[in-house]
Amino acid sequence: SNELTQPPSVSVSPGQTARITCSGHALPKQYTYWYQQKSGQAPVLVIYKDTERPSGIPERFSGSSSGTTVTLTIRGVQAEDEADYHCQSADFRGTYTMFGGGTKVTVL
């Protein structure tokens, strides 16, 4: 099916590592992008083309890809990283794009 699947929530203690997965059948063929959305704010791009980090995004944010699953990793999580994280990718043929359901990251 043409869907992106994310876990609804991830909890992590400050200073630890958070890993957020996104699964989809087309991911081996299409790039994935990640957005951070804090409460009441617009989304912000944190990873593009699976692993690239835009300027201004802290180095603790990284992306990786393996088969039909891509992962956003946040190392040394800080309280300010508490937010919803959304993955985005296209279908096999590149005729439309879509988002995963989003993952709420809670910093304990």
Partner 1 sequence: EVQLLESGGGLAQPGESLRLSCAASGFTFSDTAMTWVRQAPGKGLEWVSSITASGVTTFYADSVKGRFTISRDSSKNTLYLQMNSLRAGDTAVYYCARVLGSSALDWFDPWGQGTLVTVSS
Binding site for partner 1 (CB under 8 A): 31, 33, 35, 37, 42-45, 48-49, 54, 84, 86, 88, 90, 94-102
Nearest to partner 1 of 79, 96 (CB atom):
96
Q: What are phi and psi of 45, to 5 degrees?
A: -70, 130
Nearest to partner 1 of 31, 68 (CB atom):
31
Q: How far apart are CA 28 and CA 60, in angstroms?
A: 24
Q: How far apart are CA 61 and CA 1, in angstroms?
A: 29
Nearest to partner 1 of 17, 70 (CB atom):
70
Q: How far is the CB of 103 from partner 1 (least distance, A)?
A: 10
Nearest to partner 1 of 44, 65 (CB atom):
44
Q: How far is the CB of 43 from partner 1 (least distance, A)?
A: 5
For residue 68, the Cα-to-chain-centroid distance in whole angstroms is 14
Q: Which residues of 66-84 are buried (b: 16+ CB within 10 A; e: fewer)?
A: eeeebbbebeebeeebbbb
